[in-house]
Every structure is written in C-alpha cells, then in structure tokens.
Amino acid sequence: MSINAKHLATFILGAAAGVAAHKYLQTEEGEKLLEDLKTKANNLKAEAEGAIDKAPEYFEELKTKGAETLKSNFPDAEAFFKDLFEKFKGGKGTTPETDVAPTPDPVS
C-alpha cells in the first residue's frame, strides 16, 4: 500500500486539529468546557445506573398491566393461547386426524 498525497494531507490535517484542540483545552474556557463535560457525563452515568436498578420493577409492572389489559379487552385470549400451546406441545385436547396432515409412506 503506497502513501499518496491524499493520505499525507489527511494525516497533517488530523494532527493540526489535535494540536488546536490541545491548545484550546489548555485555556480557561477550555478547562471550563472539560468540567462541564465531566459533570454532564457523571449525571448521565448516575441516571443510567438508576435506570438499570429500576428496570426489573418497570418490566414487572409492564407485564402485569399488559396481562390485565389483554384479559379485559380479549377475554377469550387466555383459552385460545392455552389451546394453541397444547396443540404445539402435542398435549390433550387435540386429535391427530385434524391437527397433523398425514405423511406419505416411504418408498423402498
């Protein structure tokens, strides 16, 4: 892989941007900016940790409310899903003639 003028120019511009950022961050205004960024980052971290702690409660509440809403709006849904589960499981309440298509005999 050869280095051409485009790669060299990109490297020089990147290095110049790095030097400029370093010089800016050494000023009083730059230090204030860094402190603001650190404060915001710490606040965001605390908020994220709080959300992680609250997640199990939130999902439990969501599950409960979802089940209640489903039962109140679709009262037959529970029986429907139980029957459907039993069909897939192969349990009681299903008949082989109506649930499974007959398989052809293997040819020898």
Buried b (16+ CB within 10 A) or exposed e, 13-24: eeeeeeeeeeee
pTM of the shown model: 0.42
pLDDT in tens, 49-95: 999 889 899 999 999 998 888 888 888 887 888 889 899 887 554 45
Question: Are the beta carbons of 24 and 30 closer than 8 angstroms?
Answer: yes
- Mean residue pLDDT of the chain comes to 83
d(CA 87, CA 99): 8
d(CA 53, CA 62): 16
Burial degree of 87 (CB within 10 A; 0-12, 13-18, 19+): middle
pLDDT at position 44, please? 96
